[in-house]
Amino acid sequence: MPTLSVRIERFPIAGAFTIARGSKTEAVVVVAELADGATTGRGECVPYARYDETVDGVAALIASVASEVAAGLDRADLQERLPPGAARNALDCAFWDFEAKRTGRRAFELAGLPAPAPVTTAYTISLGTAQAMAEAARVAGRPLLKLKLGKEGDAERLAAIRAAVPECELIIDANEGWTAANLEANLAACASAGVTLVEQPLPATDDGLLERIIRPVPVCADESAHGLESLSHLAGRYDAINIKLDKTGGLTEALALAEAARAAGLDIMVGCMVATSLAMAPALLLAGAARYVDLDGPLLLARDREPALHYEGSLVYPPKPELWG
């Protein structure tokens, strides 16, 4: 049986990453590692304060099952042993990586999926002034941008950005920052700007309003969507679901959630936290079923881990086995 170890790693962000809830300059990740002397499997997660997670708490939760892993706890057992969240994600992905390396089969084969292909990822523009965001969008030169909004003046920000990048596909992420008072006006501004998708406009606790209005732009659940148990609450409110492994608690549940979401008629976005290529790699197994891909975490860092995913502009290639899976 493998032994389990856990460590905390820090990666500087290029500049700052700013959303409606705040700003940060560093990505702090937790890595779970399974090793038996011949094979090593790794998984990475990002604890998220929005869900009352802390770095030390997540690392401790992973470490708390080390003796059970040594005694035979496996990936199937893990789904019941730990709750959905960052800790289970890191360990779940480490199990996938360990099994792939131990058997000499790629993780997509173990999951019964076709080989992943290169995909275009969105590139995130942090929340700022209208002028700063417009200039950042112009300089980025990307075909698909994800704009962080959620403060007063969003319509002006959007107009300035659209003028700067008239041909670019735009996704909006309000991070729960809009309200009942400005929702319809902001959605109308998005429709006028030709926005493709609006992500989590309202707080998860107040999103029932989305059932009672005409949505001129498709709306995607993020903070309102976690694992399979959250799917029943999304009907009538959302047109798509953002699946993040740190919310589902790993690739295992994310694959099940993607299948259930498609059956429910929801489009899929595969998303990420600001993290390294090790966190993006397992999420790429979901990209083939996704209408929207947002796996730009490493592009926002001042440095990535090695080996890393290969990016050509906004095109991200599947991981090599040395990285994961």
Q: Which two tokens stand for residue 44?
A: 């990475």
Decide if 244 is catalytic: yes
Amino acid at 159: A
Place of tokens 């700003």: 23
**Options 24, 101, 146, 148, the catalytic residue:** 148
Q: Which two tokens stand for residue 126?
A: 């942090």
Decide if 148 is catalytic: yes
What are the CA-CA distances from residue 255 to residues 211, 216, 282, 302, 305 (Å)? 27, 29, 11, 30, 25
Q: Yes or no: say if 173 and 274 are a contact pair by the CB < 8 Å rule.
A: no
Q: Yes or no: say if 73 and 65 are a contact pair by the CB < 8 Å rule.
A: yes
Q: What's the CA gap between 250 and 56, in Å, rounded? A: 19
**Options 101, 146, 244, 247, the catalytic residue:** 244
E strands in the chain: 3-19, 22-35, 40-45, 119-120, 123-125, 144-148, 169-173, 197-199, 219-221, 240-243, 267-270, 292-293, 311-312, 315-316
Which residues are catalytically annotated?
Answer: 148, 244
